[in-house]
Amino acid sequence: MDPEFRGDMDHHDGTSDALPGGYVEKRRPGELGFAVFLTVASLGLLYSAYGISGFKALSSPGSIPMATSLVMVISALVVAVRTARLPRVAGETLSKDILPMMVVVFVGFLVLFGVLLKPLGFLPTAALFLIAAFKLLSGKSWAHALTMAFVSLLVIWLVFRILFTVLLPAGIVPEAEFIQIFRNFFSGKG
Amino acid sequence: METLLAILTVFTQPQLLMLVGVGTFAGIYIGAIPGLSVTMAVSILISFTFSWEVLPAISLMVGIYMGGVYGGSRTAILLNIPGAPSAIATAMDGYPMAQKGAAGEAIGVTTVMSFFGGLIGILVLALAAPFVSEFALTFQPRDYMLLAVLGILLVGSLSSGSLVKGIFAGAFGIAIGAVGRDPLTFAERFTFDFKIMEGGISFIAVMIGMFGVSEALQQLQNVNMKSVRQKIDRIVPSFGTIRKYLPLSLQTSSIGVIIGALPGTGGDIAALMAYDHAKRVTKEPDVPFGEGAMEGLVAPETANNAAVGGAFIPMMTLGIPGDAVTAIMIGALFIHGLNPGPMLMIDQPDMFWFIVGALLTANVFMLIFGLTGIRIFTKIVEMPRSIIIPLILLLSIVGAYAVNNSITDVYWMLGFGVFGYFMRHYGYPLGPVILGVILSRLLDDNWRRAIISEREDLGRFFEGIVTSPLSLVLFVSVIMIFVSQTPLWTAMKNRLFGRATT
């Protein structure tokens, strides 16, 4: 195994930590676009950082933001130029390897989760999300997805609501009353 | 005496002891399940333990950290998939051993050696940290600033291929950390006149997004991957085996502690260097390296666990994390109102000794859990990803929401998750981003303190650097890292070493 090898997470069964993917000698689909985007965004940040306090003093609140955004602009530019020179990876497409439909769908799920969390409450939203996700990913029956969602949600709720005492939006479910029943049950009063 | 009492706090409260145990147990499995990582687990857990008392929260996280570093080696041996970066070197000889049917022996030796390395790391931490923190009191603000820059640069350059991408990631992190109102002058920075951004971006949202959501999204691509089953036999290694590799493990543990203690370098580098060392000093291995040599297993495993203790040294004494996980641990300490740095050792020595005690306990638990429960282990690791991924995403959302009870944080997390997803794909390291976010404040404060004390005079500032040996060493190191990226360095290297390396 090459010590420089840091994992190619897309085409083998690799777990990753903070390991970046990508190839050293080749350019993946969209990589150049990303680098250009970073350069432009960094330029925007640099402009914004200049607006904080300009070149007033070395100790002004804007000096570190200006320095960091300048570093960002330069490094992003270097990356963009280097990337542009590399040959493209053969056989990879943006829709297949970088941004498959499944990822887009899940990002959509998560956005929806955020929208529904407050009005609907944690339990119904999480249940909907889990059922949809399990069904979509496992490709097994609805019964399977429903059972798995129910079991895992119950465990999560017990662990986090009771053990970690995390406050979650109750929404339409009368959660507090339910916990009270639960507590009474355990203290022998129920 | 008081020190001893503080170390033993863990044992006086059964609840804490249990939490360390549960944490270690969970850490081993999290480290071992493909698709879950310690970094992810600790960043999500910070938000859940947010409302806890300090001691239980730290007990749990220390356990997870220690267990996770060890757990990554399991999958490296069984499946050739390092569960954590620090287990990359373990796979080189561990997997060939498993292929030959010696998986049990490999796991047994790994466990005992990890325990051994961990112990040495913690001992060094306990002995060295008080001195380092005393020394750190003499640090000037500019030294802190340089150390922070050095840490971010080292994480960027050593944890991945491209340093330029690492530098970008680090600078990006510092910029994220600067968002909001400046604590000194109250000037708005990077808020783009949005009210929401005045309070800054919650670093927990950034962490969970980068290490939880982006990871889970990436795993969606290998959701149908089947896990491979391996037969495991006897695991407890014989005393003779242990004694045979003891001298080597002592050397590699020292490597681990030293590498771990350098800001910016953690268990992954330590393990690779130790592997290299073992290769050099073992003249006649029973089995050649790369084909299942026991030495190739002992070296990285002792080193990466020794690096845990090492990494806590700069984290506790200087407030400068060694890698992404310690950066997140620092975030956890911040949240509980602790301020890692030389003053922590002076104001709250008990807290330091408590952490040492918790680490020691976690190390013992690691040995116990590592040598038992192998059957359950194989079951849990085979959990399908179609179940794991939605659960990670759900926990990420709950975690991001729980800290401030705000939906805004959930959206930040999502945004950074998607951004981190692209960064992963295009080879940008994520570690430096987190380091940058955590160190942003320290960097900013110390730069301003340093330059104000030199009356805004850059000339005097550099004079200060040149005349202080410590600042000079740090400054030269920072410059060296930059130079190593320019064509100048390659040309110089060719002239100097051209003949030797060809």
pLDDT tens, residue by residue, B240-260: 878 888 888 889 999 999 888
Condensed to tens digits (0 to 9), the pLDDT of residues B326-350 reads 888 888 888 888 888 888 888 888 8
The rounded mean pLDDT for chain B is 82
pLDDT-derived band at B233 (thresholds 50, 70, 90) equals low
Condensed to tens digits (0 to 9), the pLDDT of residues B206-222 reads 888 888 888 888 888 77
Q: Under a CB-based contact definition with an 8 Å cutoff, are residues B233 and B35 in contact?
A: no
Q: How far apart are CA A47 and CA A65, in angstroms?
A: 10
pLDDT for A189 beyond 60: no
Q: What is the pLDDT of residue B227?
A: 56
pLDDT for A29 beyond 60: yes
What SS3 string covers B103-145? Answer: HHHHHHHHHHHHHHHHHHHHHHHHHHHHHHHHHHCCCCHHHHH
Asked if B426 and A19 come within 8 Å (Cβ–Cβ), the reply is: no
Tell me the nearest-neighbour CA distance from A71 into chain B, angstroms: 7
Spatial CA neighbour of B249 closest among B115, B363, B92: B115
Q: What is the pLDDT of residue A7?
A: 40
pLDDT-derived band at B35 (thresholds 50, 70, 90) equals low
Q: Of A174-183, B117-126, B128-137, B483-492, where does the model show the most confidence?
A: B117-126
**B401/A contact by beta carbon, under 8 A:** yes
pLDDT-derived band at B168 (thresholds 50, 70, 90) equals very high
pLDDT for A35 beyond 90: yes
Q: Name every chain A residue with its beta carbon within 8 A of the beta carbon of B323.
A: 18
Q: What is the mean pLDDT of residues B277-306?
A: 86
Q: Name every chain B residue with its beta carbon within 8 A of the beta carbon of A20.
A: 160-161, 165, 423-424, 426-430
Condensed to tens digits (0 to 9), the pLDDT of residues A101-122 reads 889 999 999 999 988 988 888 8
pLDDT for B298 beyond 70: yes
Condensed to tens digits (0 to 9), the pLDDT of residues B45-62 reads 887 787 788 888 888 988
Asked if A20 and B402 come within 8 Å (Cβ–Cβ), the reply is: no
Q: What is the mean pLDDT of residues B90-115?
A: 84
Condensed to tens digits (0 to 9), the pLDDT of residues B345-358 reads 888 888 888 889 99
What SS3 string covers B243-302? Answer: HHHHHHHHHHHHHHHHHHHCCCCCHHHHHHHHHHHHHHHCCCCCCCCCCCCCHHHHHHHH
Q: How far apart are CA B245 and CA B150, in angstroms?
A: 35
Q: Name every chain B residue with its beta carbon within 8 A of the beta carbon of A167.
A: 402, 405
B 139-198 → A contacts, CB under 8 A: 159-162, 164-165, 167-168, 171-172, 174-175, 178, 182, 184-185, 187-190, 192
Q: What is the mean pLDDT of residues B435-464?
A: 86
Q: What is the pLDDT of residue A190?
A: 41
Of A100, A134, A164, the CB nearest to B49: A164
Q: How far apart are CA A123 and CA A41, in angstroms?
A: 38
Q: What is the pLDDT of residue B119?
A: 93
Condensed to tens digits (0 to 9), the pLDDT of residues A117-142 reads 888 888 889 999 999 999 988 888 88
Q: How far apart are CA A67 and CA A65, in angstroms?
A: 5
pLDDT for A56 beyond 60: yes
Tell me the nearest-neighbour CA distance from A83 into chain B, angstroms: 10
The helix/strand/coil state of B188 is strand
Asked if B424 and A16 come within 8 Å (Cβ–Cβ), the reply is: yes
Q: Name every chain A residue with its beta carbon within 8 A of the beta carbon of B421.
A: 103
Q: How far apart are CA B339 and CA B336, in angstroms?
A: 9
B 266-295 → A contacts, CB under 8 A: 272, 275-276, 290
Of A61, A118, A167, the CB nearest to B182: A61
Q: What is the enclosing helix (H) or strand (E) of B189?
A: strand B188-189
Asked if B401 and A76 come within 8 Å (Cβ–Cβ), the reply is: no
Q: Of A131-145, B178-192, B230-244, where does the model show the most confidence?
A: A131-145
Q: What are the domain boundaries of chain B? A: 2-139+235-403, 465-502
Asked if B405 and A18 come within 8 Å (Cβ–Cβ), the reply is: no
Q: Name every chain A residue with its beta carbon within 8 A of the beta carbon of B184.
A: 61
Tokens 């006649």 map to which residue? Answer: B284
Token code pair at residue B331: 């975030």
Pairing verdict, β B180-181 and B188-189: antiparallel
Q: What distances in angstroms separate CA B86 from CA B140, B170, B374, one per listed residue? A: 33, 21, 22
**Amino acid (1-letter code) at residue A46:** L
Q: What is the mean pLDDT of residues B30-58?
A: 79
Q: What is the pLDDT of residue A10?
A: 36
Environment class of residue B284 by beta-carbon count within 10 Å: exposed (0-12), middle (13-18) or buried (19+)? exposed
Q: What is the pLDDT of residue A16?
A: 39
B 70-99 → A contacts, CB under 8 A: 75, 79, 81-85, 88-89, 91-92
Q: What is the mean pLDDT of residues B169-173?
A: 92
Tell me the nearest-neighbour CA distance from A181 into chain B, angstroms: 23
Q: What are the domain boundaries of chain A? A: 1-98, 100-186
Asked if B168 and A76 come within 8 Å (Cβ–Cβ), the reply is: yes
Q: What is the mean pLDDT of residues B293-312?
A: 89
Longest CA pairwise span in chain A (Å): 74
Nearest residue on chain A to B164, alpha-carbon basis: A75
Q: What is the mean pLDDT of residues B18-45?
A: 82
Tell me the nearest-neighbour CA distance from A186 into chain B, angstroms: 20
Among B43, B155, B165, B435, the residue to mutate for chain A (most A Cβ within 10 A): B165
Q: What is the mean pLDDT of residues B352-374?
A: 88
Q: What is the pLDDT of residue A1?
A: 34
Q: What is the pLDDT of residue A112?
A: 93
Q: Name every chain A residue with its beta carbon within 8 A of the beta carbon of B324.
A: 17-18
pLDDT-derived band at B234 (thresholds 50, 70, 90) equals low
Q: Name every chain A residue with its beta carbon within 8 A of the beta carbon of B83.
A: 15
